[in-house]
Structure 1
Amino acid sequence: KMQLTGGREAEATFPEALKGPILRKVQFQTISRLDNLVDMIYDEFKHDYYPGEDVTVTMDGGERVHGLVRDKTTFGPRMLSDGSYTQPVTRYLVNVKDSEEETMVTDEHICRERGIFTKSMLRSFIKKTVIREAWNGAPRLVKHDYAGQYHIDTRVPPHLRYDTKVQERRQLQAQKRAPSHEVNGHGSALHSGPVRLPELKPAPKSHKGKQ
């Protein structure tokens, strides 16, 4: 019961504006250790802000004001005359609280309040909203309720499905078991029809006997 309450609390206190973008990022991730996933997501989002977030803006004169992110626009890298590229730049349109003022800022002039977005909160939120099956290499999947709520695609890519992984493993094992000279010598026989197949069956046994 306590765990359930903790999960609900993690979800309730987590910034609403970040939930959708973070769940989209977590969907189908194959990083097995939760701590590593949390580190990756946290580093990516700690200086990235989303419409609807409460933020603190440092104005030109150094004054710090509270605001609400209304919009964000990311400009990709531009090529300079020397052939190098500029870093991508994101600009945020922020409504300054308790005023009619709007300001356009980059991420150097904007931050969240302390404690709004922490690794422990992120960890709790992911544990509450995401599941992962027990097989090796299984992707993380956003629970259906949350996927529906935040419009997240739940169709698992073919290369991340369990049956695909099993098939790949079987093929790999078959390749390891098949002696290379047999594959080369009888490659055509394998495809020439079922009549020739029985002749190939004893080959692996005799190969094993030699080892």
Structure 2
Amino acid sequence: MSCPAITKPVFDHHHSGLGVATSRPRISWRFENTDETIAGWVQTSYEIEIKFASDEKPQSFPEVSDQSVLVPWPARDLSSREAAIVRVRVYGKSLVEESYAKEEPSAWSEPATVEAALLKKDDFRANFITAAQQIGPYGPLRPIRFRKEFILPQELDLRSSSARLYITSLGVFEAWINGKPVTDECMAPGWTSYKHRLVYRILDVKRLLIPGGKNTVGFPITGELVRTVG
């Protein structure tokens, strides 16, 4: 009997690992094995390997623990926008078969990337943009479209680079790059009490960019989700 396979690790309750809102994301993993003889197997310890872009080699963090859900982040804090590659392996043994009482390691999990969001207030540097003309309570409510062109250097290698769009609005928006939507989400970023709290999105847009050519980004934007006149 061998150790079960380890799934790709996930971070906190985040769906993808892109834009976690903490410098110390907790790590979870699951076990995959259909062999009936795996009954009675228990995890006795785990090892987390973390590779930062600034490091030449990954760091390894062993821990004697049977936990696999939301275990503490073992490395240094992530800074805003910083990414790290994480993989996990576990050690365990069978409590049923004496011949397998010796602890054995699993194979390493598939690596997963975690990337921090904007963690400090000072990271939010952009100003809100709006229409040039003043729109009063009885003015037109048609969407506003913003558009900007930019050129990426020919020598830019997107395979080894990242491109992120950080975006919010006092209302709802769509974002397009080179004629293609950056997400299939509707009514983004979602309703909030705009005077107290804003939700923002972090989007990976590398696949939409053209190195060495002209790129166009556009944003159709509407007003608040609920507008009263009176």
Q: Same fold (TM over 0.5)?
A: no
TM (norm. structure 1) is: 0.25
TM (norm. structure 2) is: 0.23
Structure showing greater radius of gyration is 1
Richer in helix (by share): 1
